[in-house]
Amino acid sequence: MIMNRPYIGIPMGDPAGIGPEIVVKSIVDETVNEISRPVIVGEKNTLKQAMKFCNIDLEINIIENVEEGNYKIGVLNLIDLKNVDIDELKVGTVQGIAGRAAFEYIEKVVELALDKKVAAIATTPINKESLKQGGVNYIGHTEILEDLTNSHDPLTMFQVYDLRVFFLSRHVPLKEACDMVTEERLYDYIKRCVDSLNILGVENPKLAVAGLNPHSGEHGLFGDTEVKEMGPAIKRAQQEGMDVLGPVPADSVFHFGLKKSYDAVLSLYHDQGHIATKMVDFERTISITNNLPFLRTSVDHGTALDIAGTGKASSVSMVEAIRLAAEYAPKFNR
């Protein structure tokens, strides 16, 4: 067992989804207990119900402060917000009470992280429709965390095995995402990616920028974004001493990233990087949010309402999110 295991804050997620189930499955995982001290923020009866779904027997230890926990396998240390009426909860359905509860778990975990009570947070899935029905006007975790921490434009990075992928844009239409590939924006993101890699402990990071058009435009034959916008941005970064190359055709850049030819890839839009990472290993693709006051990792799947309550949900992604949080936390907080 690793000495000085970091405290990792874990919000339970949407009570009607698979969040509670993957949480209890993760807590019985030996790796999780060897490398971290997981602190769950959630609701006791929902977690007890999830244990029945999963045929798991855990001791729930209610705590007020993280230092009160008994961090050994077989014990789930819980900060209980008591915000779900188990008799009203309908597992597997969109509900306002579930969306509101999920938001309150995130609020509490953020409070713990800002107060340095936990070294990092590893988040579980939430449901956009449930949030809306619960009067929570955010579209996802990133926007919630941005607002709660007064941060600006958090930087998303995916990691699966040795492939790290940043994103120039997130949830915008593809046409708009293409229009966002400008010299100034790309140059700014290159700098931010390099800074984030340094913070995560990657020394002298090498960054590849994915191309936008087929074959990176073939010098203007298939589009001129690479020539007019991307080339100048990359050259500026290189002149400032950053180890950045590209634009590298998108049909090969992720393959070489997985082979460690560089430390990370900057993807130009949502699906370009999502498809690449999830084709490597869907369950082990983990989202890491940079440019926050604390480290945040997350599963990259939804609430899976269709299988919630069956005990079938895989905890592989949750375990991996906790593992990366524990691995990067000492470097992030140094």
Whole-number average pLDDT of the chain: 94
> Which pLDDT belongs to residue 301?
87
> Which pLDDT belongs to residue 185?
97
* Tokens standing for residue 88: 């009203």
pLDDT tens-digit map of 29-40 = 999 999 999 999
User: pLDDT-derived band of residue 2, with 50, 70 and 90 as boundaries?
Assistant: low
Return the closest-CA partner of residue 125 out of 300, 290, 324, 270.
300
Return the closest-CA partner of residue 202 out of 213, 194, 190.
194
43-47, 152-156, 159-163, 232-236: lowest mean pLDDT where?
Answer: 152-156
> Which pLDDT belongs to residue 300?
82
What average pLDDT does the segment 191-208 reach? 95
**pLDDT at residue 127 above 90?**
yes
Query: Phi-psi category of 188—alpha, beta or left, where left has phi over 0 and alpha has psi -120 to 50?
Result: alpha
pLDDT tens-digit map of 261-314 = 999 999 999 999 999 999 999 999 999 999 999 999 999 889 999 999 999 999
**pLDDT at residue 333 above 90?**
no
**pLDDT at residue 46 above 90?**
yes
Q: Which residue has the tokens 């936990």?
A: 118
Percentage of the chain modeled with pLDDT above 90? 90
d(CA 237, CA 186): 10
What average pLDDT does the segment 254-264 reach? 97
1-5, 303-307, 320-324: lowest mean pLDDT where?
Answer: 1-5
Q: How much is the CA Rg of the chain, to the nearest whole Å? A: 20
Strand order in the sheet with 295-299: 59-62, 75-80, 37-42, 7-11, 120-123, 295-299, 286-290, 155-160, 163-167, 264-267, 206-210, 243-248
> Which pLDDT belongs to residue 4?
84
pLDDT tens-digit map of 137-169 = 988 898 999 999 999 888 999 999 999 999 999
d(CA 89, CA 97): 8
**pLDDT at residue 1 above 60?**
no
What average pLDDT does the segment 61-88 reach? 96
Percentage of the chain modeled with pLDDT above 70? 99
